Structure 1
Amino acid sequence: MTVKPNRPKTFQAGRGYTHADWDAVDSPEFTADDFARMKPAREVLPESFFEGLNEARKAGRPRVEKPKQAVTLRLDPDVIERFQQQGKDWRSRMSEALRKASGG
């Protein structure tokens, strides 16, 4: 299902731009002819653009040897509350407590 963004067709105050900004923009909707004239990005953009994209995609969190697994676990509310009261990293402390309890 595609969700169409809510783009106003008339100026609406309080959206971060002025009425003059709104009037200065001339962006008619694309026609079938406009789409027919479009070219693939690789034909019109320099190769350095795509090299930069590839570099940006490599960024991020490094892979870990043993990634954590998401599980669903039903616990008593008082147990969760006690761990949450210990502060921000309560999930890590809960994991450590389970590791100790399992003999690990």
Structure 2
Amino acid sequence: MKRKCADMSKPKPPHDFDENPEWTEEDFGLARPADELFDAERIALLVRQPGRPKGSTKADSKQQVALRLDREVIEKFKAAGPGWQTRMNDALRRAAGL
């Protein structure tokens, strides 16, 4: 049986700890716009653009289709966790001899 080392465990926060507290007027008064604190390159890293990153996929490399599959087949792929659509595509490629 493995023993948990007491000094290795993460200490619990106080019982009244709030990970996301509501801001007070004082908090808003102390806040500063990001462009006062960071350069443009860092600000760009903070802003998430919708969709996939540019250049991460080739144009016309995939085609969206509507496909009716057995529920059990979909559940089996989903049960293995994230990436199930890629694994399903790989299985279809193998079945097609690609």
Give the TM-score of the pair, scaled to structure 1: 0.41
Give the TM-score of the pair, scaled to structure 2: 0.43
> Greater CA radius of gyration, 1 or 2?
1
